[in-house]
């Protein structure tokens, strides 16, 4: 990619400065100084601000011995009062500018979780600040920003009202097609390398930056990310592991080497895929029943797709000799078998004494017995 231009560096510096000055809880507190004590208390209770738990209209009404409708009126009046105070624009401006800038950088729409993590990276990503941001967006800046509730197409997100969702929908459709063609989980950088080769993305390259595509991936309900940061379709077990077999496969695939079933169990529980605890006997039973896993040592399993052969040591020796297509010394055979099995050398020596399967030629090298060919 080309080096950033001076203008891009200036813009990036400006955005960093805006993030550094982004303190939503302080903004809310400053605005609330313009309210009557009861108005402030109702808003803090209603939206869980200032460390208070969020309460319903009924709960607040009971505390004040009034109806829920009266609390609703106080809430509405207080919000309107905040919007009309003399210094409202100056006070809320930095927050509005920061959120607008971040959304524009990400194509005008972001998953709520991603947006909050992004804008709160300096102020502190805590519940107090999150609630303050939500209150500001939903009640004070609702004319500029729109909340998209979670549905079949999108995750819970925030959108600039000035942008259309048409490009988002078209982009997600194209990315899904690319992912289907790849057919397996993929990290973001590799996905980007595939995506930019599509004519659609070439046509919209100025709009579809890396930040925008990343935001769109996070918004889509059809695209998911597994615990290892790889993207794919949510219907894939390797992205949304639901069955025990999905979890075992994902753990082994990520570790990239054979593991004992107890170690696999521990890693599944550490990853906390779905808050359901895994137990060693359950994991071991799954490993035994599925042909995609190969037992290579005492309780140690590998993925068959890594090239491991199922069967006892003698079967592995036969496979080694067939692949070599030549007689082999005992040392050579042992070295090759140990690539496939975690066993003692004496176990391999013992298997080689089975004359119904292996014999020695005139040079003392091992070959497969003729009656086993």
Contact 24, 129 (CB under 8 A): yes
DSSP at 220: B
pLDDT in tens, 42-51: 999 999 998 8
- Residue 17 confidence (pLDDT): 65
Regarding whether 139 and 92 lie in a shared domain, the answer is yes
Tell me the C-alpha distance between 218 and 212, whole Å.
Answer: 10
User: Which CATH number covers residue 181?
Assistant: 1.10.10
pLDDT band at residue 225, thresholds of 50, 70 and 90? very high
CA triple 312-318-324, angle to 5 deg: 140
163 phi and psi angles, rounded to 5 deg: -105, 155
Residue 2 clears pLDDT 70, i.e. is over it: no
Read off the pLDDT of each residue in 18-29 and give the average, rounded to a whole number.
86
* pLDDT for the residue numbered 122: 85
Q: Which of 233, 262, 283 delimits the end of a domain?
A: 233
Q: Could you tell me which of 237, 222, 111 has the C-alpha nearest to residue 171?
A: 222
Residue pLDDT, tens place only, 299-341: 999 999 998 888 899 999 999 999 999 999 999 999 999 999 9
Cα separation, 134 vs 43, in Å, equals 13
Adjacent-strand bridge partners of 259: 301
Tell me, yes or no, whether 153 lies in a domain: no
CB atoms within 10 A of CB 102: 21
One domain for residues 137 and 196 = no
The answer to whether the predicted template modeling score (pTM) of the entire model surpasses 0.85 is no
Are 87 and 210 contained in the same domain? no
Please, where are the H alpha helices in 150-208?
166-182, 188-195, 199-203
Round the average pLDDT of the chain to a whole number and report it.
91
> Based on the structure, what is the number of domains in the chain?
4
In a domain, 238, yes or no: no
Q: Between residues 17 and 101, which one has the greater pLDDT? A: 101
Are 328 and 343 within one domain?
yes
Band (12; pLDDT cuts 50, 70, 90): low
Q: Are residues 184 and 78 in the same domain?
A: no
Q: Can you tell me the distance from the alpha carbon of 366 to that of 189, in angstroms, rounded to the nearest whole number?
A: 49
Same domain membership, residue 357 and residue 283: no
Rg value, the chain, Cα? 31
Query: Average pLDDT in the 19-30 region?
Result: 88
The dihedral built from the CA positions of residue 234, 236, 238 and 243, taken in this order, carries a sign that is positive
In a domain? residue 159: no
For residue 24, which of 142, 161, 112, 124 has the smallest C-alpha distance? 124
Residues 197 and 295 in one domain: no
Residue 81 and residue 60 share a domain: yes
CA–CA gap between residue 209 and residue 217 (Å, rounded): 12
* Paired sense of beta strands 109-111 and 358-360, if any: unpaired
Query: Are 227 and 264 found together in one domain?
Result: no
User: Is residue 266 included in any domain, yes or no?
Assistant: yes
Tell me, yes or no, whether 359 lies in a domain: yes
**10 and 141 part of one domain:** yes
Q: Is 206 left (phi over 0), alpha (psi -120 to 50) or beta?
A: alpha
CATH code assigned at 333: 1.10.10.10
Q: Which residues of 145-165 are buried (b: 16+ CB within 10 A; e: fewer)?
A: bbebeeeeebbebbbbeeeeb
How much of the chain, in percent, has pLDDT values that exceed 70?
94
Domain contains 152: no
How confident is the model at residue 6, as a pLDDT?
41
Structural domain for 64, as ranges: 6-147
**Of 147, 107, 113, nearest to 130 (Cα)?**
113
What are 194-219's pLDDT values in tens digits? 999 999 999 998 999 999 999 999 99
Task: Look at residues 233, 253, 285 and tell me which one is the last residue of a structural domain.
Answer: 233
User: Does one domain contain both 284 and 264?
Assistant: yes
Residue 98 covered by a domain:
yes
Torsion, CA 93, CA 99, CA 100, CA 102, rounded to 10: 140
Answer yes or no: is 129 within a domain: yes
Which pLDDT tens digit goes with each residue over 141-164?
A: 999 999 999 999 999 999 999 999
Cα–Cα distance between 139 and 362 in angstroms, integer?
90
**Residue at which a domain ends, from 81, 112, 147:** 147
Provide the pLDDT for residue 271. Answer: 87
* 87 lies in the same domain as 123: yes
Measured CA to CA, the distance from residue 56 to residue 253 in angstroms comes to 47
């Amino acid at each position: 990619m080309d080096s950033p231009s001076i203008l891009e560096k200036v813009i990036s510096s400006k955005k960093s400065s805006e993030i550094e000055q982004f303190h939503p809880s302080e903004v809310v507190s400053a605005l609330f100084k313009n309210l009557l004590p009861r108005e402030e208390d109702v808003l803090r209770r209603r939206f869980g601000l200032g460390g208070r738990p969020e309460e319903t209209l009924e709960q607040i009404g009971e505390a004040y011995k009034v109806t829920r409708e009266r609390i609703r009126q106080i809430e509405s009046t207080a919000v309107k009062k905040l919007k009309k105070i003399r210094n409202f624009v100056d006070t809320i401006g930095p927050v509005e500018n920061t959120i607008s800038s971040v959304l524009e950088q990400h194509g005008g729409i972001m998953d709520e979780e991603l947006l909050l993590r992004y804008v709160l990276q300096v102020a502190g990503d805590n519940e107090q600040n999150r609630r303050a941001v939500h209150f500001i967006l939903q009640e004070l800046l609702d004319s500029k920003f729109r909340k998209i509730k979670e549905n079949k197409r999108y995750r819970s997100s925030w959108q600039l009202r000035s942008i259309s969702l048409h490009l988002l929908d078209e982009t997600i459709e194209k990315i899904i097609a690319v992912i289907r063609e790849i057919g397996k989980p993929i990290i973001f950088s590799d996905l980007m390398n595939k995506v930019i080769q599509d004519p659609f993305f070439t046509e919209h390259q100025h709009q579809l930056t890396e930040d925008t595509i990343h935001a769109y991936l996070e918004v889509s309900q059809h695209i998911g990310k597994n615990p290892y940061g790889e993207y794919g379709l949510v219907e894939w077990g390797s992205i949304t592991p639901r069955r025990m077999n999905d979890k075992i496969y994902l753990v082994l695939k990520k570790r990239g080497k054979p593991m004992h079933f107890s170690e696999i169990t521990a890693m599944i529980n550490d990853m906390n895929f779905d808050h359901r605890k895994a137990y060693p006997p359950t994991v071991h039973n799954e490993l035994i029943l599925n042909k995609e896993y190969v037992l290579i040592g005492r309780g140690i399993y590998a993925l068959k797709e890594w090239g491991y052969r199922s069967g006892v040591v003698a079967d592995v020796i036969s496979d080694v000799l067939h692949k070599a297509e030549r007689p082999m010394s005992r040392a050579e055979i042992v070295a090759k078998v140990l690539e496939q099995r975690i066993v003692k050398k004496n176990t391999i020596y013992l298997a080689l004494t089975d004359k119904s399967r292996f014999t020695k030629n005139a040079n003392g090298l091992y070959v497969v017995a003729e009656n086993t060919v």
